[in-house]
Chain A
């Protein structure tokens, strides 16, 4: 089906979780106001990579005409957009949000920006990752759909176009749920939707020629003031040393002592 798709990424700047031994984990700031982000490698949120891949696949199948990659954040967000362009997106939009505004940027604010952009670009499809792996909010997609009053296919593990509707298989706690929704719609990508391609060097070079438009939230008449105030950020409690006991009787006694049984 012909149409434009805005493929949008939630919070492009996501702290890359290091899947290594937690010897040097992400550190909480001493004033407990947040986490340290200086010097931490930032890369595209994994679920957003899956979203980009799905959009590019749809374009390759000629189901959609154009893929636009969007990111909200400081200057570095452009690098993430470039990766999306290297994966096959046609052009990018960088909505610049910096400093304190960026620290306080939450799902509702991002959703407002995406909704405004979707209207402006006359998009037919908005695809996001299901959640950002730094805040784990899992709200932006749903809020965007609500603001636009569009149907939503969230936690999508399979998407097929059937005429002028979308069939979406969703991953839910009980198993899989298949729904049919009208277009335009919002989709959020779950892990099993696809395996994202790596940006190859030749494609990265070609992507440098693709355009990234710059704008601010004010250009979209969006108010990004947050209604949330972060009171405290703290690390999970330190794991304490275990205790060794000699016999089963000792074990039971200690468990009783501790009130566990």
Chain B
């Protein structure tokens, strides 16, 4: 056992107080790097940094540091590397898969003080931001330039955190996910080395130079390094937007419409699906009167002329698939009203059972398989007496069951876990993935193994071992521990 692990063990078991000299020594070295008031061992601060917005229980780190710049991050990392202290990067804590839990203790690197927006290049459509910048902050900053960053995962998340989890959102069908929109990253590795995945300051729109390290770190969920800068691809704010709603007699007709809309070449910006359970919940929550049927919520971006054509084509397609009640609007107020159900879905689902906790599943399958998986999933929910209205980014084949469960009902929790496992395996059986956008985090490590197969997982583990041989970077996430792997061969 290393010194730090021993100390931590003794402190946790109250054998010694945290005034013990060893831990004090490391903490005082942290303080000399980033300042007296930038290191915290306060219980409230640690607990705040040990949880995210998932249902995973809080796993507080032993200390939280608040560095100001990449040099401090690097120096702190060097220290942690020397003393074998685990490191957990923390952005806004809005993750949904328990990615920030300090399972083996260690130090949480809260990066919120690094909040500069650097190097905006309007004609090149790129900007570089530090981890403390959230997507809404960036878009507010950009508002008078005519540019925006469209990846919208719902929460006002840190952009570097979004890069770390390969976030996506309702706009992905048109603008892509983080994988397509990160041009360069500045990363601090486990031993404190600072690298730039595409070269320092470089921001060409495309490149064929060397291994694609940028996309190695996108989605690595803090297990390969600490992202301290990300260079993002920006887009022009669309000249005009139109929102529309249409109701369908079945899931199949709704998805068929989606496929045909995409095949018709309509550059649709958002296409969201809500099932009838969700529509009912939304009606109740917001006193609306939508028909209680599978419904598509659509959004179109473009010039005035092109919008007219897009809407006309789409309306014709929905009608040919027995869609009805096609409504659309261009002005902001009416658009918000039409989409009210979709915007409030999360809260409406929770309101179905007050006092319960909400958990969102997240699988993604090829479009053609979507009707089958949704129908089978709904049957599963009914059979197991679970509450799970469905909302989905149907243009990507990605959907979420917003599960509402009583956290004190052990049996229901058990049924929930069994259900989510079955759902993920159902998606895998249909050539899909166990996580469309939330990441692997803590809860889907075994599923990842099933999804990728042993050779690919083995390669991922080799990469992890190369970049972080001491397993200090956010241990216990994404990949199952090495020892278990080698035993399973």
Contacts and interface: CB of A to CB of B under 8 A. Distances in A.
Interface of A: 19-21, 23, 41, 43-44, 79, 83, 86, 195, 197-204
11 contacts: A20-B132, A21-B132, A43-B143, A198-B144, A198-B146, A199-B237, A200-B146, A200-B239, A201-B147, A201-B239, A204-B146
Interface residues of B, number: 21
Interface string B109-150: 000110100000000000000001000010011011111100
A41 B146 CA distance: 16
Contacts, number: 51
B238 interface: yes
A200 B146 CA distance: 4
A125 to B, nearest CB: 22
B113 A199 contact: no
Contacts of B238: 200
Nearest to B303: A202
Contacts of B303: 202
B44 interface: no
Grouping DSSP codes into helix (H, G, I), strand (E, B) and loop, the B interface class, with mixed when no group exceeds half, is: loop
A23 B111 CA distance: 13
A202 B239 contact: yes
Nearest to B116: A24
Contacts of B140: 19
Interface of B: 112-113, 115, 132, 137, 140-141, 143-148, 236-240, 303, 332-333
A43 B144 CA distance: 8
A238 to B, nearest CB: 12
Nearest to B146: A201
Q: Which 3 residue pairs spanning A and B have beta carbons closest together? A: A201-B236, A201-B146, A204-B146
Given A21-B113, A44-B144, A201-B236, 13 more contacts: A19-B137, A20-B115, A21-B112, A21-B132, A43-B144, A83-B144, A200-B236, A200-B237, A201-B146, A201-B237, A202-B146, A202-B236, A202-B303
Contacts of A83: 144
Contact of B144 (A20, A21, A199, A202): A199
A212 B236 CA distance: 24
Contact of B146 (A19, A20, A21, A203): A203
Contacts of B115: 20-21, 23
A83 B237 CA distance: 14
Contacts of B148: 198
B332 A86 contact: no
B332 A198 contact: no
Contacts of A41: 141
A9 to B, nearest CB: 13
Contacts of A79: 144
Contacts of B113: 21, 23
Given A20-B115, A20-B132, A198 B137 contact: no
A195 B332 contact: yes
Contacts of B112: 21
A199 B146 CA distance: 5
A198 B236 contact: no
Contacts of B240: 200
B137 A20 contact: yes
Nearest to A24: B115
Contacts of A201: 146-147, 236-237, 239
Contacts of B332: 195, 197
Contacts of A20: 115, 132, 137
Contacts of A203: 146, 239
A53 to B, nearest CB: 10
A34 B9 CA distance: 53
B233 to A, nearest CB: 14
Contacts of B237: 198-201
A203 B303 CA distance: 11
| Residue of A44, A79, A201 with most partner-chain B CB within 10 A | A201
Contacts of B137: 19-20
A43 B142 CA distance: 10
Contacts of A23: 113, 115
A201 to B, nearest CB: 3
Contacts of A44: 144
A84 B239 CA distance: 15
Nearest to B237: A200
Nearest to B240: A200
A43 B113 CA distance: 23
B339 to A, nearest CB: 14
Contacts of B143: 43, 198-199
A128 B199 CA distance: 47
Contacts of A200: 146, 236-240
Contacts of A43: 143-144
Interface centre among B146, B236, B239, B240 (most CB of A within 10 A): B146
Which of A86, A197, A198, A202: most chain B CB closer than 10 A?
A198
Nearest to A207: B146
Contacts of A204: 145-146
A53 B440 CA distance: 44
A23 B112 CA distance: 10
B8 to A, nearest CB: 25
Nearest to A79: B144
Nearest to B114: A23
Nearest to B141: A41
A36 B103 CA distance: 45
A171 to B, nearest CB: 18
A49 to B, nearest CB: 9
A86 B303 CA distance: 15
A12 B143 CA distance: 16
A197 to B, nearest CB: 8
Nearest to B332: A195
A20 B131 CA distance: 13
Contacts of B146: 86, 198-204
A164 B205 CA distance: 55
A81 B303 CA distance: 23
